[in-house]
Structure 1
Amino acid sequence: MQLVKKLEIKSREKIIEFLNSQPAGRIASIDRNGYPQVIPMNFVWADGAIYMHSHPAGEKLDNMLRNPQVGFEVDQHVCFLPSYYFHPTDASQADTLYISVVIKGTASLVRDNGEKARALNALMEKYQKEGGYEQLAPEMPVLQEVAVIKVVPDEMRGKYKVGQHWSRPYRLKMAQNIIDREGLENAKPVLAIMGVVFKDGRLELESDPEM
């Protein structure tokens, strides 16, 4: 994964924070005919690995048992930037603001019931923050009804384009363009990621979007 340095997420902590803020990722394994199989999955980052729960049988598990080298990707589409923001007629100028993380790693099925319970509890903590469930314990028979996939990263890289490569005045100009196209309320989440706030009837730069 070739990265332009100014677009690279330099902080491992920021990468992990981003991973656990996202609802789904995609795992890629190689099938018996050599084709990549890409599957969207719920996941959590915990204890230095990606964990996912799965039905105990299926093609992706067969793929991983045959070849444990996998890819895992998570991305967030922040905002489409139409070409006319940059040029009156040149369609090639259209762009996108985004955040993404790509992992190359080694997959395995978790066999230890203690680790399995910890992983499933971490998934519940991520997706059901309001509680309302009993924590899983290693001795519970229900653990045998689900598979837990673990991916240990060999390489983990992040990339983001959220306006940090623009000058501060140009970032404000782009923020106004986004408001004009999307409306202020729809634009607010994008502006927050760009480090821009709408305050007292005007746009202000609150921070630089560093990751």
Structure 2
Amino acid sequence: MQLLGRLEIRSEERIIEFLGEEHVGRISTVDADGYPQVIPMNFVYMKDAVYMHSHVKGEKLDNIRRDSRAGFEVDREVEFLPSYFEDPHDASVADTLYVSVVIKGRAELIDDTAEKAAALNGLMAKYQPEGRYDPVKPGDEVLGHLEIIKVVPHSMRGKYKIGQHLDTKERAELAAKILDRGSDTAASALKIMGFEVVDGRPVMRDEPSW
């Protein structure tokens, strides 16, 4: 329980920032037989809710109309830690640095054209920040050819494991191993962990505390 507490993201601002950075989330709805159906979706978090756009037909829409309970999850693998970082003979000690957010709430399909337009514009602003498109207006015909799914959170919890569970010496040793391994994600992982590379060595610049 002590470790789990240290892995919890306590800053709502950090959770919202993370949701703004990630491009794919997964909505979970309850199907007709009571099983969860999980679908990857583009999304935007705005006005205290998750918005997604969808074709006008589909199982997830039927699920929402029948049962509004929904989950939504977003995660990022920060860095895979191979087992030999800890023990060259024990594969079970392989690990992963990560960030994740899990939402439980209620899903609904939006009919209000102003809200639908705002959601689409929010999605465009997130995924195409350079602009070069005409904003959607409430009277636009396109709004009748798609559905907007809105998930209002009942709870929203985040977890992160980026080395904050280690003491300063162990964290520095891990950063050095990640840098030496040289994966494609090493540079971004070190930055998230609070390190910068100086003269080929990782140097801590701040304590990772979310």
Structure-2 residue corresponding to 1:150: 150
Tell me, what secondary structure is at the counterpart of 1:4? helix
Does the Cα contact within 8 Å between 2:109 and 2:147 map onto a contact in 1?
Answer: yes
Amino acid at match of 2:132: G
- 2:197, 2:4 → 1: CA distance? 30
Q: Which residue does the alignment assign to 1:18?
A: 18
Partner of 2:34: 34
Q: CA deviation at 1:105?
A: 0.5
Q: Is the contact between residue 179 and residue 202 of structure 2 (CA under 8 Å) also seen in structure 1? A: no
Q: Note the residue ranges of structure 1 that are not aligned, 5 or more in a row.
A: none
CA distance in 1, matches of 2:8, 2:61: 32
Q: Partner amino acid for 1:198? A: V
Instruction: Tell me what 2:108 maps to.
Output: 108
Q: Within 1, Cα distance between the matches of 2:17 and 2:123? A: 15
Q: Which amino acid aligns with 2:206?
A: S
Match of 1:118 in 2: 118
Q: How many residues align?
A: 209
**CA separation in 1, counterparts of 2:20 and 2:186?**
23
- Stretch of structure 1 that moved more, 19-28 or 86-95: 86-95
Question: Residue 208 in 1 paired to residue 210 in 2?
Answer: no
**Post-superposition CA distance 1:6-38 (Å, at most 9, x none):** 100001111010011001000011111111110
The answer as to whether partners of 1:168 and 1:205 remain within 8 angstroms in 2 is no
Structure 1 stretch displaced more, 199-208 or 40-49: 199-208
Structure 2 gaps of 5+ residues are: none
Alpha-carbon shift at residue 178 of structure 1 (Å): 1.0
Give distance in 1, aligned partners of 2:96 and 2:172: 16
Matched, 1:197 2:189: no
Between the aligned partners of 1:186 and 1:15, the Cα distance in structure 2 is 21
- Further displaced range: 164-173 or 62-71: 164-173
Matching residue of 1:79: 79
Aligned equivalents of 1:150, 1:115: Cα separation in 2: 10
What is the CA-CA distance between 1:73 and the residue it aligns to? 0.3
- Structure 1 runs, 4 residues or longer, greater than 6 Å off: none
C-alpha distance in structure 2 between counterparts of 1:140 and 1:31, whole Å: 32
Contact between 2:176 and 2:201, CA under 8 Å: does it hold in 1? no
What is the Cα-based RMSD across aligned positions, in Å? 1.4
| Alignment-derived partner of residue 64 in structure 2 | 64
Query: Residue 186 of structure 1: CA displacement?
Result: 4.5
Q: Percent identity?
A: 54
TM-score normalised by L of structure 2: 0.96
User: What's 1:4 paired with?
Assistant: 4
Q: 1-side partners of 2:30 and 2:182: how far apart?
A: 40
